Amino acid sequence: MSAVRKSLCALALSAWAVSAHASPLVEPTLRIKPEDAGAGRVALTLDACGGHTDNRILSALVENKIPATIFVTGIWLKRNADAVEILRAHPDLFELENHGGRHIPAVDTPRKIYGISSAGSPEAVVAEVESGAAALAGTGGPAPKWFRGATAEYSPSAIAMIRKLGFKIAGFSVNGDGGSLLGAKETARRIAAAKDGDVIIAHINQPTHAAGEGVVQGLLALKQRGVTFVRLDDADGVGSHGTTD
C-alpha cells in the first residue's frame, strides 16, 4: 500500500470510528458557470454503470455532435469494447471519467443505498476509486479527473478521501432519467427543461429501457432551442459539500 493511501486510510479510520453510525449521506449538486448569453449552456453527463450500451443515445450524440462526459465503471469497460472504441474515436465529443471499479457506493460505513451495498470501509472506498481509475488507464486514454460514485450518494468522510486522491466529485442539478427507470415522456420533459448552467445526469447502459428514447428526445429539444453542450473539463463547475473545492 502506498504512503499516500496509508495516510488516507488512517485519517478516514479515525473519523469513521467516531461517526460510523452518525453521518447522514449527501447527494452533491454540481452546476457550471452560466453562459449569460444566447440560449445558455449545459453539461451532459452519462453513467455507464454495467451491462451494455444504449446505442440509441450513443448514435444520437455522434450524429448530432453533442459533447458529453461519460462516467464508466471497470465492469462496463470490459463488456463494451466496441462502444469504448467509438468514444475514443471522438475525443472532440467525449471525455471518459471514473465511475468506480465495481459500481460500489462511495460510503465508508456498511449500509445499502437503493438496494446496493456500500463500500463499507475507508479502505474499500479508496479501492473502488483507484480500481476505476486503473481500468480507465488500461484503455489508453487520458487519466480521469472526475469521479462519480454509484448511486451518487456519499458519506462526508468519503468525499474528503476522494478529494485527497485528486478527483473532483461530479454531482448534478438535473436528474434526467431517474436512474433509467423513468418513461420516455418524463425523461424527455426533464432533460428538455434544463436551464443555463445545469448539469444533467442520465444513463447510457440500459438499451432496453424506455428512458433511453426520452434522453434522445430531450437532448434534441435542447439542441433545437440553441443550447450549447459542454463537457465537465470544458467548464467551471461548482459543487456542493466540498466536492470541487
Where in the chain are the domains? 3-239
Residue with cell string 442539478 = 173
Closest CA to 91 of 141, 36, 32: 141
Contact in structure between 43 and 229 (CB atoms under 8 Å): yes
User: Taking CA 170 as the corner, what is the angle to CA 89 and CA 26, rounded to the nearest 5 degrees?
Assistant: 155
Contact 162, 151 (CB under 8 A): no
Question: What integer pLDDT is reported at residue 37 of this predicted model?
Answer: 78
For residue 11, what is its C-alpha cell? 485519517
Whether the CB-CB separation of 232 and 43 falls below 8 Å is answered with: yes
What value, to the nearest 5°, has the Cα angle with vertex 154 and ends 124 and 7?
Answer: 45
**Count of C-beta atoms within a 10 Å radius of residue 227:** 23
pLDDT tens for the chain, 245 residues long, are 565 555 555 555 554 444 445 579 999 999 999 987 789 999 999 999 999 999 999 999 999 999 999 999 999 999 999 999 999 999 999 999 999 999 999 999 999 999 999 999 999 999 999 999 999 999 998 999 999 999 999 999 999 999 999 999 999 999 999 999 999 999 999 999 999 999 999 999 999 999 999 999 999 999 999 999 999 999 999 999 999 99
The listed CATH number (1.20.140.10, 3.30.360.10, 3.20.20.370, 3.30.70.3040) that belongs to domain 3-239 = 3.20.20.370
The DSSP bridge partners found for residue 30 are: 239
pLDDT at 45: 98
Q: Please name which of 101, 212, 110, 223 lies closest in space to residue 150, comparing C-alpha atoms.
A: 101
pLDDT value at position 35?
85
CA-CA-CA-CA torsion sign (43, 108, 162, 90) = negative
Predicted pLDDT of residue 20: 47
Return the number of other C-beta atoms located less than 10 Å from residue 213's C-beta.
17
